[in-house]
Chain A
Amino acid sequence: MAVGGTKVNPQKFHKSQIPFYLYLIPIAIFMGAPIVYIINHAFKPMDELFAFPPRFLVSHPTLDNFRNLLQTTAGSSIPIGRYVFNSLVVTLAVVILSIFISTMAGFALSKMNFKLKGPVFEVNNIALMFVATAVTIPRYLTINALGILDTYWAHILPLVAMPVCLFLIKQFIDGVPNSLIEAAQLAGAGSFTIYRKIILPLVKPAIATGAILSFQSVWTNVETSNLFTSAEGIRTLPFYMNTLSSVGSVQGQGMAAAAALIMFVPNLLLFIVMQSSVMNTMAYSGIK
């Protein structure tokens, strides 16, 4: 062991680590506190929501806000179930399509040689800087021209091509040893077979990361509902949550917190489950 060597990623606890904890723990609390606050807020009964001074933690948790949520929507023309259904359909479609399309393209960009390979990857890299808001108008015109306004496709198609996902997946596939692919080719496998039987199983962490990223981009997306659909029945959950939360009343706050919680939990669970896969993929995330 070198004297005075670096202490990155230590195995055991050492008191020199304490200063770092002193910084990290308050920051983590700052990051986590608002979320804890909202979680508590969602379970507060009416009197606690109105309480002044407002309390941080809930003392008599109830499911009132959630019940109100379901009932309010029963009063309006579209039940919340419809929004949930829309969101589920759209999210599932985007995640699955995005994974297949990105892994296929990533495989081609990483392991195959063809004329436009360099430019395609470069263009995609530039597209990492893409800001969707800057092109909402042409997108709207395109979707209109394609005739898919007010359909599920308006939610799905714009979000499937994610330059970030393609980038991460391609980088990860770069790490698959070429010898494996060559061996398969010698054994007579065609490219699609190689894709199915070798690449896909080996890049599961990248697939997990891509799935999480596309999930996050779809599940909370209000723009597609706002801009590309006008019929209420076709809009998705986050749009509905948004409508709810702009109600100013205190009761509205409770419902908004409940709604926000419903949106957040799947996201959180997904990430916790896939967390190590994500970190694994990130090892390849450098842009060279």
Chain B
Amino acid sequence: MEREIKKRRNSRLTRDDLTSYALLAPYILLFAVFILIPVMMTAGLSFTNFDVINPPRFNGITNYLYLFTQDTVFMKYVLPNTFLYAIVVGVGGYVLSFLLAWMLAQIQALPRTLLSLCIYMPSMLGQVFIAVIWRTVFSGDQGGWMNAVLLQLGWIDQPIQFLLVPDYFMLIMIVVSLWSSMGIGFLSMISGILNINREIYEAAYIDGLRNRFQEIVHITIPSMKPQMLFGAVMSVVGAFQAGNIGVMLTGSNPTPGYAAQLMVNHIEDYGFTRYEMGYAAAVSVGLLGLIYAFSFIARKLFSAKDE
């Protein structure tokens, strides 16, 4: 009798295994072909010199050496810009997301839904629309809305070429990026805050918790660590992925004075303008490494595993 049951259980497992793989197969296939393999190819290409016309020639770590020692544009503009951007838009945007999400949780459901829709809307727009909007707003002639307002207020005499002057440009890019960054990470945090069990709060207040700030730090954030982590990963990725905004607002890559040059632009510059694919691949590996490093930090902060 027992042997029969064991046999039946074993055969069900085998069929289960096959079905699992069958269910997974389409995803795994596409994932492998379009995500995994390209990443591995990038890593491989980073050790070569590849100009698309001739096959890749292995050149060891030359690309990496160049990146860290000789690429002045990278060291002077791209890396600092990317870090500045990542910190302000990535971390800053994340903190802003959380604050907005928290404030939204303090009001009633209907206003909350309306306001969060407004806040979420810019993230749905797509690069093209965002560029259209903000190019119109910051247009360098008096037709630009910003210039028009400033001229009318008498603060300036001549329209400012916002999108051409490096000083303003980074600032504009940061503002535009923050504006459009309240995406699914933001929604996730709202959801996380709303789903915390009230009893935990009540218990904490009985135990002596006194104000909202303490409430946030001691109860809210620890209770939604998984959502915080998801939001953090989304923010980090979004911040490092950016780069198109600069190009779309000014219409050129590299942006004037390298003001808005981020790692992604640098990669595209070397890859598609100068056809130095091997070097572009090396920079790409650097980018992926940076993202992974930031996400690792996020994971350390928000891991719920030791609860």
Contacts and interface: CB of A to CB of B under 8 A. Distances in A.
A164 interface: yes
Interface in A113-166: 113-115, 117, 120, 123-124, 126-139, 141-142, 146, 157-158, 160-161, 163-164, 166
B117 A142 contact: no
Given A4-B205, A104-B24, A129-B292, A53 B151 contact: yes
Contacts of A282: 184, 187-188, 190-192, 227
A191 B115 CA distance: 42
B195 A283 contact: yes
B127 A27 contact: no
Indicate the size class of the contact surface on chain B.
35 or more
Contacts of B16: 112-114, 191
A131 B237 contact: yes
B116 to A, nearest CB: 9
Given A54-B148, A129-B233, A285-B230, A20 B133 contact: no
A20 B142 contact: no
Interface in B174-224: 179, 182, 184, 187-188, 190-196, 198, 201-202, 205-206, 210, 215, 219, 224
B117 A286 contact: no
Nearest to A7: B106
Most chain B beta-carbon neighbours within 10 Å: one of A3, A32, A213: A32
A126 B227 CA distance: 16
B23 A213 contact: no
Given A216-B126, A283-B195, A134 B284 contact: yes
Nearest to A128: B233
Contact of B37 (A6, A52, A138, A264): A138
A107 interface: yes
A219 B201 contact: no
B27 A105 contact: yes
Indicate the size class of the contact surface on chain A.
35 or more
Secondary structure type dominating chain B contacts: helix
B117 A27 contact: no
A283 B191 contact: yes
Contact of A24 (B45, B100, B251, B277): B100
Contacts, number: 320
B24 A108 contact: yes
Contact of A31 (B20, B122, B195, B292): B122
Interface string B232-254: 01101100110100001001000
Contacts of A160: 30
Contact of B237 (A10, A113, A129): A129
B191 A285 contact: yes
Contact of B281 (A115, A137, A142): A137
Contacts of B167: none
28 contacts: A5-B205, A8-B106, A8-B194, A13-B108, A28-B119, A34-B133, A38-B132, A53-B142, A108-B24, A112-B20, A113-B16, A127-B36, A129-B237, A132-B241, A134-B287, A135-B38, A136-B271, A138-B281, A139-B34, A157-B30, A191-B19, A241-B128, A245-B128, A250-B143, A257-B132, A260-B128, A282-B191, A286-B188
B42 interface: yes
Interface of A: 2-13, 17, 20-21, 23-25, 27-32, 34-35, 37-38, 41, 50, 52-54, 56, 100-102, 104-105, 107-109, 112-115, 117, 120, 123-124, 126-139, 141-142, 146, 157-158, 160-161, 163-164, 166, 190-192, 195, 213, 216, 219-222, 238, 241-242, 245-246, 250, 253, 256-257, 259-260, 263-264, 267-268, 271-272, 275, 278-279, 282-283, 285-288
A34 B137 contact: yes
B41 interface: yes
B229 A104 contact: no
Given A133-B264, A137-B45, A52 B148 contact: yes
Contacts of B196: 8
Interface in B124-151: 124-129, 131-137, 142-145, 148-149, 151
